[in-house]
Chains A and B, each alone.
Chain A
Amino acid sequence: MVSQWGIKFAVYLITNHFGKIVAKVCENLLNHGALTLDLAIRYTELSSEHVKNSLLVLIQHNCVQAFVAEGGDDDGSRVKTEYMVLFDNILHRLRFPKFMEIVSGDLDDKCAKIFEGLLRDGRLNMKQMVDRESQGKENAAAAAAVRESLLKLLMARYVERCPLPEARVVEREIITKKRGAKGAQNFKAPETKEQRVIEAAVRGDMIRFSLNADIGCNSDGETNPADTSVAETDAKEDLILWRANFEEFTRHLRDKALVENVRARMDDGAAIVLSAILKATRNKDKEVKIEKSVPLPPDTIFSEVIKTENGRTMTIDRVKAALVQLGCSNQMLYEYVVDLKHIIRWARNEEVESIVLKRYGRDAYRMFRHLSKENQFCPTDKLADATLVEKKEAPKLLYKLWKENYLHMEKLSVTGGNTKPVSILMWKVNQPLLWEHVLDEMYHGALNLKLRMASEQEKEEEIINTPKAKINESVPLLKKYKRLQNVLLLLGSSLMKLDDAIMLFHDF
């Protein structure tokens, strides 16, 4: 379930991009979970026309997935399509500049242009892409060129075939899937309904990243491509819709965050080695939120390390030392595994601690760090002693932290002999709950940044609407204009940094 401020932030983004009506539908889907069309109409109190169109917009932009739940108690004769909002994809809209940067850094301008079109329009087929490319040009862009760029984007997995328009989900499906013998040993959190729907809609890797029209259209796949005419292929191709593959970008950003965290905490050597491990195992892990890296033998790691310029300076011994630094296990089997979850946890802790320091001061910071290290209930006095905080001050600070959900508190009543019972307050850091809370605060903060941007723009509307030439003529106008630019720049860059933290807590 998405937290309160998460919903508010998502609704704000949708309002900004698609207007109030679409946002209303989206808000109801976020609050109520998946809804059928009828229910969506009832909850939103909008006309069916409005709701239908809103859903289409949301589907076009990959923010809603339709599905049919099969099975259940009734005989299945009256199954209805339900619509599920994809919260993550709404937030990804905020990250489009980051995605763009990744693609432009990796592939050529033509690819970047096609990719930009996909981000802007949500989903496109080949014909639409070619048309878009031809716009404003004298001779129409050659379909072949577009096809070539798309192929590159598919190879890099930046683009994928859209998922099934309507996924089929079996209710009360046995959700513990076997993921190999090793996977079964690890406890896996039960999947949410959202995950199940997404999983049911996604196509197999072969089809998902294949440009070939025949794959996927012919379920039997027996027809020989040579038999079909060009026209037929084109017609088939137009049936296929393409979109940006957000998963790949999340993975990309996750790897970057992991490497940068290791660099900050350890050194460049460890960062280079981790980066090599992640590169060598790219596309091997199915999910973004993985706990451990895929096991790799040292030779593979080393040959990946020396592919990079900085890595070439490293000897095998240094690589091995870095692996030890990374806490690699499984050396016995001559395969190395990095505990990625541990790095993420550490990074999250750092974030939370730095907020505590900023907001509540150094004494609170020390007590908080002590509690999170101990990871068990600790009474006020003992805590004050261990952190050298004035005994009178400690309860006040702790109370503040507790009130704002940063600490967990429990009252203990102690009776000793015939003295009357004294109540002792016990404190603890409850990490999972706290992380949820901090994430919610981050959504809140992100919304605040967005709102401030809007209000700054509104205040200076006059300047925004004044032609540039006129602004340049007047000194006060120019000053105001410069200020607005600086303000928006600062707010924008802060939002992007805050979004890195949001991803750390939500996506990785």
Chain B
Amino acid sequence: MNRLQESAFPPRKRQKVSEPVLTDEERLLFNLIRSRENIGIWTGDMKRETNLPTTVVNKSLKTLISKNMIKEVTTIQNKGRKHYMAKEFMPSEEITGGHFYSDGKLDIDYINSLKDVCLKCIFMQKVSTCEGCLEWIKRSGVFNTEVTTKQMEEILQTLVLDDEITQMISTGFGEFASISVGKTCYISKSKGGVRGEKKTADLTSFPCFSCQRMTFCSPDGTISPATCVYYQKWLDF
């Protein structure tokens, strides 16, 4: 997994090697690319900013690549565009998409399995922290890639948004005894079995709440409750 290896290393410092001899155009272009650091720059923007003709730009880019000074990167926003960056920089999250992106695509399967493991960990331990989950994952050996702290934080945040876990601050007492006071920790929501008890939409299987055609539905329209297929299914005893 290329993505994981990359994100596991911090951006490298500029290498202090003696710079190869370049033409004026090549130097101009290289300086521009390098000035964009870990964001890089699109060929269209290069042309506009340097006012160099397309052929010159293309030729110079080729030279710079062959001299191992720049590299081409895929950007999440526009996969079709040719985007370049100085060799010494790691593409920023803006370019790659973030921690869980590989080749400009979100790795949903990976995310979901991470979520499952975290949920299990928090449920079993009653209460856990980001480090606790990381430790659990390491010991479980489910993943052969290393999960970073940042990734774990993101996973836990989405689980909070999923309403699967609750974020708390440890009081150091009772069930929080194992966690030092004031530390952010997480508890499982399914534990108490009270999840969603008061939500009407969950209490009834009444179809209009899950219906995306409500705006088109009216008593005497083509879509109406009297003829509605969702109702038909619902009332099929």
Contact across chains for B162 and A365 when beta carbons are under 8 A apart: yes
Which residues of chain A in 7-31 are interfacial with respect to chain B, using CB atoms and an 8 Å cutoff?
8
Measured between beta carbons, the chain B residues less than 8 angstroms from A355 are 201, 209-210
Which chain A residue has the least Cβ–Cβ distance from B196? A354
B203 in the interface, Cβ–Cβ < 8 Å?
yes
Q: Are A359 and B105 neighbours in the complex by a CB distance under 8 Å?
A: no
* Cβ-neighbour of B217 out of A357, A358, A448 (below 8 A): A448
B 55-95 contacts with A by CB, 8 A: 76, 93
Is B157 in contact with A386, judged by CB distance below 8 angstroms? yes
Given that A359-B212, A366-B158 are contacting pairs, would A419 and B204 also be in contact in the complex, using a CB cutoff of 8 Å?
Answer: no
* Residues A354 and B202 in contact in the complex (CB < 8 Å), given A387-B158, A449-B225: yes
How far, in Å, is A425 (CB) from chain B's closest CB? 14
B100 to chain A: closest residue by CB:
A388
Q: B106 touching A390 by the CB < 8 A rule?
A: yes
Q: Select B209's contact among A264, A359, A456, beta carbons within 8 Å.
A: A359
Tell whether, in the assembled complex, residue A369 and residue B163 are in contact, meaning their CB atoms are under 8 Å apart: yes
Interface centre among B105, B158, B194 (most CB of A within 10 A): B158
Partner of B111, one of A261, A388, A455: A388
A366 in contact with B162 given A264-B198, A486-B237, A501-B200 (CB within 8 Å): yes
Tell me whether A451 is interfacial, beta carbon within 8 Å. Answer: yes
**B235 lies within 8 A of chain A by Cβ:** yes
Question: Which residues of chain B have C-beta atoms less than 8 A from A498's C-beta?
Answer: 200, 204, 206
Interface residues of A, dominant DSSP: helix
Q: How many residues of B contact A (CB 8 A)?
A: 47
Contact B211 A418 (CB under 8 A): no
Contact of B226 with A455 in the complex, beta carbons under 8 Å: yes
B98 at interface by CB-CB < 8 Å: yes
Residue of A354, A388, A400, A455 contacting most chain B CB atoms (<10 Å):
A388
B-binding segment of A80-88, A126-134, A194-202, A439-447: A439-447
Q: Does A237 contact B (CB under 8 A)?
A: no
Query: Is B37 an interface residue when CB atoms closer than 8 A count as contact?
Result: no
Q: List the A residue with the shortest CB-CB distance to B217.
A: A448
Q: Give B232's nearest chain A residue, CB to CB.
A: A452
**Contact bitstring B223-235, A, C-beta under 8 A = 1, else 0:** 0111010010011
Would A449 and B158 count as touching, CB distance under 8 A?
no
A464-508 toward B: CB 8 Å interface, digit per residue (1/0)? 000000000000000000110011001101100110110000000
Contact B208 A444 (CB under 8 A): yes
B105: shortest Cβ distance to chain A, in Å? 7
B98 — which chain A residues lie within 8 A by C-beta? 385
Report the Cα distance A271→B62, complex, angstroms.
72
Contacts of B93 in A (CB 8 A): 385
Query: What chain B residues lie within 8 Å of A400 (beta carbons)?
Result: 212
Contacts of B17 in A (CB 8 A): none
Q: How far is the CB of A264 from chain B (nearest CB, A)?
A: 4
A497 in contact with B199 (CB, 8 Å): no
Q: Are B204 and A494 in contact (CB under 8 A)?
A: yes
Q: Is the Cβ of B106 less than 8 Å from the Cβ of A391?
A: yes
Is A350's CB under 8 angstroms from B237's CB? no
> Contact: A451 with B219, CB < 8 Å?
yes
List residues of chain B with CB within 8 A of the CB of A354. Answer: 196, 199-202
CB distance from A340 to the nearest CB of B (A): 15
Binary interface encoding of chain B residues 109-149 relative to chain A, with 1 for a CB under 8 A from any of its CBs, else 0: 00100000000000000000000000000000000000000
Residues of A contacting B225 in the complex (Cβ-Cβ under 8 angstroms): 447-449, 451-452, 455
Within 8 A of B (CB), among A354-403: 354-355, 357-360, 362, 365-366, 369-370, 373, 385-391, 400
User: A390 to chain B: which residues have CB within 8 Å?
Assistant: 105-106, 108
Q: Is A404 an interface residue (CB 8 A)?
A: yes
CB distance from B4 to the nearest CB of A (A): 16
Q: In the bound complex, how far is the Cα of B194 from the Cα of A373, in angstroms?
A: 21
B24 contacts partner chain A, Cβ-Cβ < 8 Å: no
Indicate whether B15 reaches chain A with its CB closer than 8 angstroms.
no
A residues in contact with B211, CB < 8 Å: 359
Chain B residue numbers with a CB within 8 Å of A264 are 194, 197-198
Residues of B near A497 (CB, < 8 A) are 200, 203-204, 206
Asked if B8 is at the interface (CB within 8 A of a chain A CB), the reply is: no
Most buried by A among B155, B206, B210, B215: B206
**B48–A418 touching, CB < 8 Å:** yes
Hey, which chain B residues are within 8 Å of A357, CB to CB? 201
B19 on the A face (CB < 8 A): no
Please give me the residue from chain B that is nearest to A495 by CB atom: B206
> Which of B162, B197, B203 interacts with A362 by CB under 8 Å?
B162
- Is residue A116 contacting chain B, with contact meaning CB distance below 8 A? no
- Is A347 an interface position by the 8 A CB rule? yes
Rounded to whole angstroms, the CA-CA distance of A359 and B109 in the bound complex is 23
Complex: A448 Cα to B196 Cα, angstroms: 24
B154 at interface, CB cutoff 8 A? yes
Q: Check B226 against A451 for contact (C-beta < 8 Å).
A: yes
A370 to B158, CA, bound (A): 9
Which of B198, B203, B225 gathers the greatest number of chain A CB atoms within 10 Å? B198
Q: Which residue of B lies closest to A359 (CB)?
A: B210
Provide the bound-state CA to CA distance between A456 and B154, in Å: 50
**A445 contact set on B, CB distance < 8 A:** 206, 208-209, 214
Tell me whether A260 is interfacial, beta carbon within 8 Å.
yes
Q: Is A339 an interface residue (CB 8 A)?
A: no
Chain A residues with CB under 8 A of B1: none
Interface assignment of A351: CB less than 8 Å from any CB of chain B: yes
Query: Which residues from chain A contact B209 at a C-beta distance below 8 Å?
Result: 355, 358-359, 445
Chain A residues within CB distance 8 Å of chain B: 8, 260-261, 264-265, 347, 350-351, 353-355, 357-360, 362, 365-366, 369-370, 373, 385-391, 400, 404, 418-419, 441, 444-445, 447-449, 451-452, 455-456, 482-483, 486-487, 490-491, 493-494, 497-498, 500-501
Interface residues of B (CB under 8 A from A): 45, 48-49, 76, 93, 97-98, 100, 105-106, 108, 111, 154-155, 157-158, 161-163, 194, 196-204, 206, 208-212, 214-215, 217, 219, 224-226, 228, 231, 234-235, 237
